[in-house]
Structure 1
């Protein structure tokens, strides 16, 4: 009887482009401008990306487009969000029993704290010209910077699995 082995290295293969986008635009406006520049139709996904961290649970907005002809999946993902924590302070003074709301910033990819959004293009079969997409995204006025992220520098790759 033959033995079958699975090589886990095969599953670690990265088959996507990841663009970091720095902008002050809201997510829906950015998706609108990207739809005008690129031949895609990003739309708001009901399946937001849920992340559980020590500060609490949060979700990141996601815009999605599935290009059936070329077999590509496009995701525009929010990188920054806030978690509101409620702290109760029990002191025996004038301000006793105070409930405080504390807002904590959280990131989808914590090693890229300055990035506002990521554009992830999945199932890359070498039909995508990354530098051309980068040039087109840089033509949007409200975007200050766009660059391709080196996926080897991402420590929290599991947050990009959705």
Structure 2
């Protein structure tokens, strides 16, 4: 009988580039400007990225494009969102019947709280010039900073699996 061994290190390989984007633009406007600058056609995906935390669950918007010619997936993902919680007041006064709504800020990648969006480029075989993409993204009005994220520094990599 043959023995098969699996090396779990093979599953930890990173086959994507991650670019952080700092901007005040709304997600649909940023996707529009990226489509103008890059030869891709990002469209809003019905499958949002869902994150569960102790305060509740939240969904991050996602824009997606699959380049079938080069078999490359492009994802524009929101990094910041909010979770709303309903809390009842515990006091016996005039406002005791009022339910309070508490908002908690949630991040897709908490290590990069200042980044507004991430551009995830998957299945690249070194055919993508990341520095050229960063230059093109930096040329968009209202984009303040664009930089490549070192994927080894990401502690919450499971949030990028979708």
With structure 2 as the length reference, what TM-score do the two structures score? Answer: 0.98
- In the alignment, is the contact (CA less than 8 A) between 1:90 and 1:98 conserved in 2? no
Q: CA deviation at 1:92?
A: 1.5
After superposition, give the CA deviation of every residue in 1:79-111 in whole Å (9 maximum; x if it has no partner). Answer: 000111110012122222220011111000011
DSSP-derived class of the 1:70 partner: coil
- In the alignment, is the contact (CA less than 8 A) between 1:90 and 1:97 conserved in 2? no
2:20 corresponding residue in structure 1: 20
1:95 corresponding residue in structure 2: 95
DSSP-derived class of the 2:12 partner: coil
After superposition, give the CA deviation of every residue in 1:132-161 in whole Å (9 maximum; x if it has no partner). Answer: 101111110110000000001100000000
1:50 corresponding residue in structure 2: 50
Gaps of 5+ in 2: none
2:145 corresponding residue in structure 1: 145
Q: CA deviation at 1:2?
A: 2.0
Task: Please show how residues 84-123 of structure 1 align to structure 2 within 5 Å.
Answer: 84-123=84-123
Query: 4+ runs of 1 displaced by more than 3 Å?
Result: none
DSSP-derived class of the 1:51 partner: strand
C-alpha distance in 1, partners of 2:92/2:76? 49
C-alpha distance in 2, partners of 1:141/1:96? 48
C-alpha distance in 1, partners of 2:142/2:57? 30
With structure 1 as the length reference, what TM-score do the two structures score? Answer: 0.98
- In the alignment, is the contact (CA less than 8 A) between 1:91 and 1:97 conserved in 2? no
C-alpha distance in 2, partners of 1:29/1:93? 47
Gaps of 5+ in 1: none
1:9 corresponding residue in structure 2: 9
C-alpha distance in 1, partners of 2:33/2:81? 21
After superposition, give the CA deviation of every residue in 1:47-89 in whole Å (9 maximum; x if it has no partner). Answer: 0011110111100000000000001000000000011111001
C-alpha distance in 2, partners of 1:94/1:33? 51
